[in-house]
Structure 1
Amino acid sequence: MKLRIYTLLIAFCAAWSLHSCDNDDDDSIAVPAALQEAFSSKYPNVKNVKWETKAGYYVADFYDGYEASAWFTTDGNWHMTETDIPYTALPDPVKSAFETSEYKTWKKDDVDKLERQGIETVYVIEVENQNQEIDLYYSADGVLIKSIADTDDENSHLPTTQLSAAMKTFIEEKYAGARIVEVDVENDKSDWDYGFTEVDIIHFDSDINRNTSKEVLFDKNGEWYSTSWDVRKNELPVAVTTTISNQYAGYQIDDAEYFEMAAGTAYYLIELEGNNTPDINIKIAADGTILK
């Protein structure tokens, strides 16, 4: 009799254990009907969807050839889909741009495809070299939008902040034909530009006859503050390179950016590196005048 009771107790415990495990694995959440319908409409052939909430959004994790996550608001409005893709699935212009970049020898760790409401698709290649990890953001036609340090933040890619009508109009008028590829609002209170809106665009620059990634900055009131973009060494005005050669002998140009300011000024910000000396940054006008 004791053996029988003992056996029943074991069976009961085992059944309870399995039931408990099932509950632990079932971490699904209640999803509004409108949201489920919106997801099914956008991804009609997807099954085995797992829902969770992140940063105020409902996020559907699923597999559709590749692992993906689609972000929605409660009313069923789609905002972003992040897809984990292999390097081979990148558009050819992106692969070509990466393979001729300064990061071409770095180890490729991860590749993401970001589709977001209101802006163009962006591809992010995460690369690492020793203790450095960098995220490289490319447009579909291979323009490097930006390179930033990877922070291993699982929410590093978020739906895009929507621009005001005035911001959109400004960009359309000042940079005709520009494509919006990134929108961020500075949220670090310790930074001078806290609350500013940074808009990355791809704009065809007729002066250099190529598409260029430009960063358009708006202040807290939504007013244009500045626009800046990287400049290749061979695209610098002769007056600029002549001044640097004459006044900064022993230094080489490392990086160069061009700034257009809403205040009406414009200048090049040049980073110079020397032999066994600290790097220096100088502001210089197109006519070669050094600015303070």
Structure 2
Amino acid sequence: MRTIDFLKMTAICAFGALVTTSCNDDDDDDKVQVPGVVQEAFSQKYAGVQHVEWEMEANGYLVAEFIKDSKEHDAWYMGDGTWMMTEVDHGRDLTALPQAVQDGYALTVYAQQQWTVDDIDEIQRKGYETIYKIEVEKAGQPDHDLYFDVAGTLFRDVQDQDDDRNEGLLPGQMPAEIQAYVDANYAGAMVVDFEKERNGYELDIRHGGKSIEIRFDSSYNWVQTSTDCKRDIPANILAAVNAAYPGKVIDDCDYIETAAGEAYYLIDLDNYDKDLKVTADGAITEVIDY
């Protein structure tokens, strides 16, 4: 998030249906025309906020930059006044995050191998549950962006995308077929994230206190469901793994169900180059780590 330069900001002036806000007093070319409906929506959501700087993004969104509760905020609006997303910059302060997210980060290999937290963003989005993005760095390694839901589940780990404004996280329109699947199978679920991928779609939700990833093909057919169970691995599965791999630490565990009728636990061991596919009877098959 860019730092707001308060010394160069002007007061917001209303002129009928439009509000003009300048990012720089000395350059009229930098002025942004903010529709009154957008200003009104902003004022209702962030009553009493002062020193607001508006910017127009190339994709047509209007972004309000401001300070609230001593933290930098970017709030994204459509031209009709619809709020879409707010990014809250927590700097490097892990303690500003919910305890569950702090605990989730502490369980990652990055925390255990003493990577440095470089930046933390809280992402609030229309129709989605709040998520937290922690950027970590280590000398000689590419930076990584770690995405957590409110339960502290790490649902995405990618190399840093240089997406400092997080525009790639703006909420997209979910296809009706996928929404219908969620309504039928996970009524009341909270959407954490939704992405269109090359071969289909990936949806992350929270339902019944569990973090769940659902994959669909390009025709919206269900392909696979992965339910995070690292914190509640069944006793017989845990016993089978411990017996076969004594001394190994389980780094992650997901319960996988597929359209082909498979059901198994996929376990990632720390410092082991294969994943374990464990069926309900405790049978273990090593598979490529993916």
- The normalised TM-score by structure 1 is 0.71
Aligned-residue CA RMSD (Å): 3.5
Q: Which moved more, 1:105-114 or 1:258-267?
A: 258-267
Cα–Cα, structure 1 residues 223 and 78, in superposed 2: closer, same or farther, change >3 Å?
same
Partner in structure 1 of residue 48 of structure 2: 45
Q: Is the 8 A contact 1:94 1:143 kept in 2?
A: yes
Matched, 1:92 2:103: no
Cα–Cα, structure 1 residues 141 and 270, in superposed 2: closer, same or farther, change >3 Å?
closer
The aligned runs of 1:164-183 (5 Å cut-off) are 164-183=175-194
Q: Which moved more, 1:90-99 or 1:56-65?
A: 90-99
Deviations 1:130-176 (A, max 9, x none): 22422222233433333332222235442111323442332243234
Q: Is the 8 A contact 1:113 1:123 kept in 2?
A: yes
Match of 1:140 among 123, 139, 150: 150
> Partners in 2 of 1:259 and 1:268 — Cα distance?
6
Partner in structure 2 of residue 103 of structure 1: 110
Q: Is the 8 A contact 2:60 2:79 kept in 1?
A: no
Secondary structure at the residue paired with 2:109? coil
Q: Is the 8 A contact 1:28 1:50 kept in 2?
A: no
Secondary structure at the residue paired with 1:46? coil
Q: Is the 8 A contact 2:137 2:143 kept in 1?
A: yes
> Partners in 1 of 2:206 and 2:179 — Cα distance?
14
Give the drift of 1:70.
0.8
Q: Is the 8 A contact 2:277 2:286 kept in 1?
A: yes
Aligned residues: 255
Alignment-mate amino acid for residue 217 of structure 1: R
Unaligned stretches of 5+ residues in structure 1: 1-20, 187-193, 205-210
Secondary structure at the residue paired with 2:34? coil
The aligned runs of 1:61-100 (5 Å cut-off) are 61-65=65-69, 66-86=71-91, 87=93, 88-100=95-107
The aligned runs of 1:212-227 (5 Å cut-off) are 212-227=210-225
Identity of aligned residues (%): 40
Give the drift of 1:244.
10
Q: Is the 8 A contact 1:219 1:225 kept in 2?
A: yes
Partner in structure 2 of residue 202 of structure 1: 206
Give the drift of 1:82.
0.5
> Partners in 2 of 1:141 and 1:89 — Cα distance?
15
Q: Which moved more, 1:260-269 or 1:107-116?
A: 260-269
Cα–Cα, structure 1 residues 24 and 96, in superposed 2: closer, same or farther, change >3 Å?
same
The aligned runs of 1:16-27 (5 Å cut-off) are 23-24=26-27, 27=30
Unaligned stretches of 5+ residues in structure 2: 1-23
Deviations 1:48-88 (A, max 9, x none): 32222333322122222311111111111111001112523
> Partners in 2 of 1:289 and 1:96 — Cα distance?
29
Match of 1:129 among 122, 125, 138: 138
Partner in structure 1 of residue 10 of structure 2: none
> Partners in 2 of 1:111 and 1:25 — Cα distance?
34
Give the drift of 1:238.
4.5
Cα–Cα, structure 1 residues 250 and 67, in superposed 2: closer, same or farther, change >3 Å?
closer
Deviations 1:184-229 (A, max 9, x none): 222xxxxxxx15221111233xxxxxx4322111222223221114
